Amino acid sequence: HISALQAKAKAGEISIGDAINLAIHEEMLRDPTTTIHAEDLQAGSSYDIPKLTQQTYGKGRAADEIIDEGHFIGKALGEALNGYRPIVELMNTNFGIYGMAEISSAGNTYATTGGKFDMPLTIIGAGGTAPNQALGAEHSQPFHAYVMGIPGLKIGTAASPEAAYGLTKSMIRDNGPCFLFAPVKMMKESKGPVDLGKCMPLNKAAVLNKASDAAVNAGNAVTVLTYLHGVKEAQLSIEAIQEEGFDVDLIELRSLKPLDMDTIVESLGRTHKLCILDESTKSGGVGATISAQVSEELFDLLDAPVKRLCMDDAPVPYASSMEVAVVKRGSDLVQGVFDLCTGKW
């Protein structure tokens, strides 16, 4: 199984779910203190993230859990305090709402002890809200925004197999609590190469596209920050943006917490305009936090107000015909860049 996944990784044919599964297997082989907890674990859960872990490492290290997230996140928390490196796979990350007290305890315990108590707990799941997701309100909540205020917690996102693999390995090896969000609608469809053995930093964003010097000099460039499904939406919109005579520095926020302000500063020093394509709500969302921080710390770099393209403060409808009014997408980004570059904010 592992050899087959590694072959797929080298050939650029591995999915996000399989890339995470490969990283987990490699780390469980490398460190016998690594454990994993998940519902439907024996069947590979929803996205194959824990696939064949119990069959390979036994029930002692790979637990097929009951439908009670607070219960098995709590078990993992106890393991983390006692010399193990537990992984929790949540299927859909919104199920973590039922383990919010335990997630908060993990972050706060690690933070209040100043790192004297190691808390090597890694939580992984599929989340976010894609256009035409059709999963309904309960499965489309921005749980990544809900947990951002928890002290001591590192929060990452991965919109590609390479990022998912590298961040998973780094989080498992980290001595503090980490939470990795992967895009629920891209878990099996997005495929690409993976640099085997490579761990990625847990505090860095990734520049996926750099605006041309001509666009920058003409004042027609915008810094775009996004993550999860927004990465795909933005990448598919670049050609349309360029056809209008504009361009973007496209930055994937692989670390929501801590936020990579250095990369944002470098880009804003070129473009002086910021647009955030955000998979969370207008109130209390990721974009709200970033917009506030940029406005407070980087005001002199801005030639226009920060443009936030975020979800409305409303339940995400199941019907795509209604959902389009709540969830922002590539077409909104094209319009947002146009507005920033033409002074129509």
308: amino acid identity, one letter: R
Instruction: Note whether 139 and 92 are within 8 A (CB).
Output: yes
| Strand, helix or coil for residue 87 | strand
Residue 101, pLDDT above cutoff 90: yes
Query: Residue 101 and residue 70: Cα distance in Å, rounded?
Result: 7
pLDDT band of residue 116 (cuts 50, 70, 90) is confident
Q: Which whole number is the average pLDDT over 285-312?
A: 97
- 286-297 and 261-271 are packed helices; what angle lies between their axes, rounded to 10 degrees? 70
Written as one string, the DSSP assignment of 236-302 is HHHHHHHHTT-EEEEEE-SEEETT-HHHHHHHHHHH--EEEEEEEESSS-HHHHHHHHHHHHSGGG-
pTM, to two decimals: 0.96
Least confident of 54-58, 86-90, 314-318: 314-318
Q: Which whole number is the average pLDDT over 246-262?
A: 98
Residue 105 exposure: Cα atoms within 13 Å on the Cβ side: 13
- Residue 117 is predicted with a pLDDT of 86
Q: What is the largest CA-CA distance in the chain?
A: 61
pLDDT tens-digit readout, 26-76: 999 999 999 999 999 988 898 999 999 999 999 999 999 999 999 999 999
